[in-house]
Amino acid sequence: MMNLTYEVKSENEKIDVWLNGEIDVYTAPKLREALESFSERNGAQITIHLSDVGYMDSTGLGVIVGIYKNLKTHDGHLRLTGLSKRLKRLFDITGLADIMDVRSEIEGGV
């Protein structure tokens, strides 16, 4: 089991989150806990940097979708950047790339 670490930089409504590790059934609750309060702020602009995330399962996707929905409810925005080919494919297959602001490493998702 791989661990997940995160670093959050928050400046007013702009919140940057750098994740490192794997997002799975064990680490997803920690991620939800870390981001839930931010996603409930009115007008929050959250950017999640995923370039150091090697793996994400459906539990991780569920957390991301939950955060996305919370933000939408509160007039906020979620951007995912630095996705590896593997992660980008996961978002493409599930159709989430069509509704979310998803940027792969190739697309200059810095």
Whether 33 is covered by a domain: the verdict is yes
Whether 93 is covered by a domain: the verdict is yes
Range of the domain at 48: 4-104
DSSP 4-68: EEEEEEEETTEEEEEEEEEESTTTHHHHHHHHHHHHTSTT-EEEEEEEEEEEE-HHHHHHHHHHH
pLDDT tens for residues 3-45? 999 999 999 999 999 999 999 999 999 999 999 999 999 999 9
Taking only Cα atoms into account, the Rg of the chain, rounded to an integer number of angstroms, comes to: 13
Measure the CA angle with vertex 57, ends 91 and 85; round to 5°. 45
pLDDT tens for residues 70-110? 999 999 999 999 999 999 999 999 999 999 999 887 654 44
Q: Cα(104)–Cα(60) distance, rounded to whole angstroms?
A: 17
Whether 109 is covered by a domain: the verdict is no
* Number of domains forming the structure of the chain: 1
Q: What is the pTM of this model?
A: 0.92
Whether 36 is covered by a domain: the verdict is yes
| The pLDDT of residue 93 | 95
